[in-house]
Amino acid sequence: MRLDRFLSGQTALSRRELTALIRSGAVTVNGASVRKPETPVTPETDHITLKGAPVKYEPFHYILMHKPCGILTAARDAKQQTVMDLLKPEDRLQKLAPVGRLDRDTSGLLLITDDGQLAHQVLSPKHHVTKYYAARLRDPFQEVYISQFYAGIMLREGDREEQALPAECVQLDERTALLAIQEGRYHQVRRMFAAAGNFVEDLLRLQIGGLFLPPDLPAGGTVRIFHKETASLWKKPDISEVKRFFIDNYSSYWIKDTI
């Protein structure tokens, strides 16, 4: 791998900035100053420093964000603030992108990565990665939602109706529900409750598979995780486990009288 390509994948600097630093003598490989951007390196074994600081090699990078409401889920936008604008300067790597979308008015867990294969698998319907949402409703929760969603509620898609995949739903309090879905349709949770005759006032994504929103991570905050931790994405916790986790960590704000 070329030296400049290696550094581009491990830092937030542009290729032009890195080229200038390399040519200035700010980079060493195994203790020797290297001034040619095209110098071949072996990331797994070579010791590389940039301005005296070691540059650790990670094939891919994974960041968990507590996305706040009012922020656009996109890699970039000319007019609106995006989730990428919330990253720490040192985390703004060139190829990072959010995995899927959380609506502008939805908060909660968002995974950001440069691992394109993993992102595709998380989003692909055939992998059945479950997403868990807490929804605060305008009107009281109705028991019929449980059977309606489990059977696959009908959603309007353009000029036709399509049946959503079966989804699990449990009640948290009079106007709060926990929902587990395996799709990523546009505004899906809001549209499911609308189809059932209710309205979602607040929506929080709590988990993707077994990967959960850290309870101590504030809105807008981020934390890096390692590749081995992404294995939990393919787990499917029982919704009762997610309910307990939610009650233990989020009830002070989200629900009043747990059931």
Q: Are residues 183 and 79 in the same domain?
A: yes
pLDDT tens for the 259 residues of the chain, in order: 999 999 999 999 988 999 999 999 999 999 999 999 999 999 999 999 999 999 999 999 999 999 999 999 998 888 899 999 999 998 999 889 999 889 999 999 999 999 999 999 999 878 889 999 999 999 999 999 999 999 999 998 888 999 999 999 999 999 999 999 998 888 999 999 999 999 999 999 999 999 999 999 999 999 999 999 999 999 999 999 999 999 998 876 665 443 3
* pTM across the whole model: 0.90
Q: What CATH code is carried by the domain that includes residue 34?
A: 3.10.290.10
Task: Based on the fold, state whether residues 7 and 86 are members of the same structural domain.
Answer: no
* pLDDT on residue 258: 39
Give yes or no: residues 76 and 47 share one domain.
Answer: no
Q: Same domain for 95 and 202?
A: yes
CA-CA-CA-CA torsion sign (42, 46, 49, 54): positive
Statement to judge: residues 144 and 237 lie in one domain: yes
Whether residues 195 and 227 share a domain: the answer is yes
Catalytic residues, by residue number, are 103
Asked if 117 and 9 sit in the same domain, the reply is no
How many helices (H) and strands (E) the chain has is answered by 6, 15
By three-state DSSP, how is residue 6 classified? helix
> CB atoms < 10 A from the CB of 78, how many?
4
For residue 259, tell me if it sits in a domain. no
| Residue 150 and residue 206 in one domain | yes
Which single residue is written with the structure tokens 């969603």? 149
Query: Does residue 23 lie in a domain region?
Result: yes
Is the distance from CB of 160 to CB of 150 less than 8 angstroms? no
Based on C-alpha coordinates, what's the Rg of the chain?
Answer: 22
Predicted pLDDT at 147: 97
pLDDT score recorded for residue 129: 93
pLDDT score at 250: 82
User: Are residues 242 and 139 part of one domain?
Assistant: yes
Largest CA distance in the chain: 70
Total domains in the chain come to: 2
Question: What residues have CB less than 8 Å from 11, skipping those under 6 apart?
Answer: 18, 50, 55, 90, 93
Q: Does residue 122 share a domain with residue 23?
A: no
pLDDT in the model for residue 127? 84
Question: Is residue 186 domain-shared with residue 137, that is, in the same domain?
Answer: yes
Q: Which domain holds residue 153?
A: 62-254
Residue 68 lies in a domain: yes
Q: Give yes or no for a contact between 1 and 41, defined as CB atoms under 8 angstroms apart.
A: yes
Given this model, what pLDDT does residue 101 score? Answer: 86
Amino acid (1-letter code) at residue 11: T
At 219 the pLDDT is 93
- List CB contacts of 25: < 8 A, sequence separation 6 or more: 33, 35
Same domain, 75 and 34: no
